Amino acid sequence: MTDEPDVELEARLEEQDSFEPPEEFVEQANVTDPGIYEEFEENWPDAWEQAADLLDWDDEWDEVLVEEDAPFYEWFVGGELNAAYNCVDRHVENGRKNQAAIRWEGELGETRTYTYQDLYREVNEFAAALRDLGVEEDDVVTLYMPMIPELPIAMLACARIGAPHSVVFAGFSADALATRMNSADSEYLVTCDGYYRRGDALNHKEKADEGLRGVEHEVEDIVVVDRLGDKLTHFLGANYHDYDELVDDHDGERVEPVSRDAEDMLFLMYTSGTTGQPKGVKHTTGGYLSYAAWTSHAVLDIEPEDTYWCSADIGWITGHSYIVYGPLALGTTTMMYEGTPDYPEKDRLWEIVEKNAVDIFYTAPTAIRSFMKWGKEHLEGRDLSSLRLLGTVGEPINPRAWKWYYKHVGDESCPVVDTWWQTETGGMMVTTLPGVNEMKPGSAGPGLPGVDAKVIHPDKEEVEPGQAGHLTVQKPWPGMLRTLYQNDERFVQEYWEEYSDPDSDEWIYFPEDGAKVDEDDYITVLGRVDDVLNVSGHRLGTMEIESAIVGVPGVAEAAVVGGDHEVKGEAVYVYAITEEGTDGDEDLRERVVDNVEDAIGPIARPEEIVFTPELPKTRSGKIMRRLLEDIANGDELGNTSTLRNPDIVDDIQQRVSDD
């Protein structure tokens, strides 16, 4: 880190490796009884009813869990409910219509507040508009939108009429949008004209239009939100609609929320896997919403009167579960911020916390490492005393960053929850309960009550404390993905095949993370064991990036690995073989970068590109990625004798140090 080391913090906190939850916090916490672990164990799976009981159901479930078709589990079977009703209507009915539901801060400083009544009104109007356009129950609606209130409104409008949404992160490229719309056969798109980033207005619609050109089926309708206020006149056809006009045309209309089966799809969310094709993770209405609400209650300690802020983007699962569905199901005030944390100044987030008296703040380790780098002086002028709980998610947090967060943001009076989970798990899985457990910086904690997380060897035995192994989950949970969209086979292959034994009906979920465990069953997640990188907490498939690179004329082959990065955690390192007669020059480098950004988005931008005549390969022809990682990190190289071409290693090292 480049800032002055905080001597006092170092001295006092460095040695400390566990922290008790602050008493003041425990006194008011939602969950404080350590017996909850036993309760779930003894009363499993019925204990999960306490998650479902946080919601209002149109029809009670007949069975909590049906395992007949494992690993295609079903939860709260026979139950019926509507997610939008649970996130909006019931709070209006319960006399809380004037409470703020969404508080939004634009990057330039504008603010908008939607009370639950406002939200109710606009969700209904947009739901009516979608219906009018022809959207029917079970049609997938793609939402390609940045952090503006119309995004959660569109999600809830879809949920109201039983149309699953598929949100595509606004930072993704036109190609990525097309791939996802094609995969989901999605015939409807909601997008916007543009948004602000570091003070610049970005043209988003141009990207959306370009993406639409790559969609292979007919797209029925495109709705465009006017974020920038300069009404776009360049709609490309009669099937383009202005969001405000649609909502005005349906002024005051009401749409009865559709009763959905607990197992009906609430949404699809695409995530990166080991192959080039992103995976469409399917989440359901009953299990997912119960799980998002339950974990928001038990781990984030959300109360209706709180102002809660998760600084993720709704385009990722964290935003789905912990900006939109969990917090709104509990009827709290959820914050949204459009912009970047250092615009216009590096204290922007703390300004927002102070101004809104935020109670709970949930962010990513990569953000915390940036705050550390910028220096604590950016927090010092701000009153952060409203904060009660801090959380992190997305990647492992190093103890130093954890302690910095605890001390400088939380003033040693807020518990920090380090929450391990995935797009596929729907919600948090491994974390401390802030009102129950002590915290150990760097270690996420035990599996949540009812979550059977175990770290195992290849022989399926649990590892000894301190040893590394694979993280697994050995019992189903309500928030779990049900399948990969239209690909049951890949679902079984990706998550269950490694450790399950179908013959004895033993099903073990493998999230593709390495981990170790200590004597108190606290799990430290070490990172992915597959070819997926975690750049600033975002999952990127190396295959996806490699295929974008070999698409550049002049590049014959490419290998992408993760190199250590001070702020991003991991960064994209590219080793590429050029074709005969092509120079690995600046021009080619630029074309590689452009192609990666076009195929995926700026988040996948390579940190380093090394052109080489060969890649180190084993005798069976496999690229030795470990070795390339070690070279990227300047680490001691392991044994290279199994290589078919050991001489190339020195050569590549030379090229790296020449750069």
The helix (H) or strand (E) run that includes residue 365 is helix 365-374
Q: Does 363 bind ligand 6R9 (CB under 6 A)?
A: no
User: Where does residue 521 rank: exposed (0-12), middle (13-18), buried (19+ CB within 10 A)?
Assistant: middle
Q: Does 423 bind ligand 6R9 (CB under 6 A)?
A: yes
DSSP E strand boundaries for 299-370: 307-310, 333-337, 360-363
Work out how close the CB of 420 gets to ligand 6R9 at its nearest, in angstroms, rounded to a whole number.
4
Q: Does 271 bind ligand 6R9 (CB under 6 A)?
A: yes
Q: Does 568 bind ligand 6R9 (CB under 6 A)?
A: no
Residue closer to ligand 6R9, measured from CB, 316 or 477: 316
Count of residues interacting with ligand 6R9 (CB under 6 A): 23
Residue closer to ligand 6R9, measured from CB, 135 or 430: 430
The pair of three-digit structure tokens given for residue 11, joined into one six-digit string:
């001295």
Work out how close the CB of 269 gets to ligand 6R9 at its nearest, in angstroms, rounded to a whole number.
9
Residue closer to ligand 6R9, measured from CB, 316 or 575: 316
Residue closer to ligand 6R9, measured from CB, 175 or 418: 418
Euclidean distance between CA atoms 624 and 602, whole angstroms: 27
Stretch that binds ligand 6R9, among 57-65, 126-134, 420-428, 651-659 (CB under 6 A): 420-428
Work out how close the CB of 458 gets to ligand 6R9 at its nearest, in angstroms, rounded to a whole number.
19
Q: Does 444 bind ligand 6R9 (CB under 6 A)?
A: yes
Residue closer to ligand 6R9, measured from CB, 309 or 316: 316
DSSP E strand boundaries for 106-220: 111-115, 141-143, 165-167, 188-192, 194-197, 200-203
Give the rounded distance of the alpha carbon of 644 from its chain centre. 40
Stretch that binds ligand 6R9, among 91-99, 312-320, 371-379, 623-631 (CB under 6 A): 312-320
Q: Is residue 104 within 8 Å of 290, Cβ to Cβ?
A: no
DSSP E strand boundaries for 479-531: 513-517, 523-528
Q: Does 395 bind ligand 6R9 (CB under 6 A)?
A: yes
Residue closer to ligand 6R9, measured from CB, 270 or 507: 270
Work out how close the CB of 167 gets to ligand 6R9 at its nearest, in angstroms, rounded to a whole number.
13
Work out how close the CB of 271 gets to ligand 6R9 at its nearest, in angstroms, rounded to a whole number.
5
Indicate the residue type of 87.
Answer: C
Stretch that binds ligand 6R9, among 45-53, 315-323, 461-469, 542-550 (CB under 6 A): 315-323
Work out how close the CB of 395 gets to ligand 6R9 at its nearest, in angstroms, rounded to a whole number.
5
Q: What is the DSSP string of 238-294?
A: TTEEEHHHHHHHTTT---PPP-EETTSEEEEEEE--SSSSPEEEEEESHHHHHHHHH
DSSP state of 3: S
Q: Does 318 bind ligand 6R9 (CB under 6 A)?
A: yes
**Interface residues for ligand 6R9 in 473-502 (CB under 6 A)?**
none
Stretch that binds ligand 6R9, among 52-60, 151-159, 415-423, 612-620 (CB under 6 A): 415-423
The helix (H) or strand (E) run that includes residue 51 is helix 49-52
Euclidean distance between CA atoms 91 and 332, whole angstroms: 9
Residue closer to ligand 6R9, measured from CB, 214 or 276: 276
Closest CA to 133 of 157, 167, 168, 169: 157
The helix (H) or strand (E) run that includes residue 642 is none
Helices 205-213 and 174-184, axial angle in degrees (round to 10): 50
Residue closer to ligand 6R9, measured from CB, 394 or 441: 394
Work out how close the CB of 492 gets to ligand 6R9 at its nearest, in angstroms, rounded to a whole number.
19
Among 396, 415, 434, 447, binds ligand 6R9 (CB under 6 A): 396
- Count how many residues are written for the chain: 659
- Radius of gyration of the chain, Cα coordinates, nearest whole angstrom: 24
Q: Does 296 bind ligand 6R9 (CB under 6 A)?
A: no
Work out how close the CB of 439 gets to ligand 6R9 at its nearest, in angstroms, rounded to a whole number.
13
User: Cβ contacts of residue 153 below 8 Å, gap of 6+?
Assistant: 119, 122, 123, 126
DSSP E strand boundaries for 12-137: 63-66, 74-77, 80-81, 100-105, 111-115
Q: Does 419 bind ligand 6R9 (CB under 6 A)?
A: yes
Among 102, 123, 192, 317, binds ligand 6R9 (CB under 6 A): 317
Closest CA to 169 of 219, 199, 208, 140: 208
b/e sequence 640-656, b meaning 16+ C-beta within 10 Å: beebebeebbeebeebb
Q: Does 398 bind ligand 6R9 (CB under 6 A)?
A: no
Q: Does 418 bind ligand 6R9 (CB under 6 A)?
A: yes
Instruction: Build a one-symbol-per-residue string for 513-552: x at contacts with ligand 6R9 by CB under 6 A, - elsewhere.
Output: x-----------x-xx-----x--x-x-------------
Work out how close the CB of 443 gets to ligand 6R9 at its nearest, in angstroms, rounded to a whole number.
9
Q: Does 115 bind ligand 6R9 (CB under 6 A)?
A: no
Q: Where are the alpha helices (DSSP H) in 574-634?
A: 586-599, 625-633
Residue closer to ligand 6R9, measured from CB, 356 or 524: 524
CA angle at residue 582 from 576 to 586, to 5 degrees?
Answer: 70
- Cα distances from 514 to residues 317, 367, 467, 524, in angstroms, run 21, 23, 11, 9
Residue closer to ligand 6R9, measured from CB, 255 or 416: 416
Work out how close the CB of 295 gets to ligand 6R9 at its nearest, in angstroms, rounded to a whole number.
11
Work out how close the CB of 170 gets to ligand 6R9 at its nearest, in angstroms, rounded to a whole number.
16
Residues of the shown chain interacting with ligand 6R9 in the complex, contacts defined by CB under 6 A: 271, 316-318, 393-396, 418-423, 444, 511, 513, 525, 527-528, 534, 537, 539
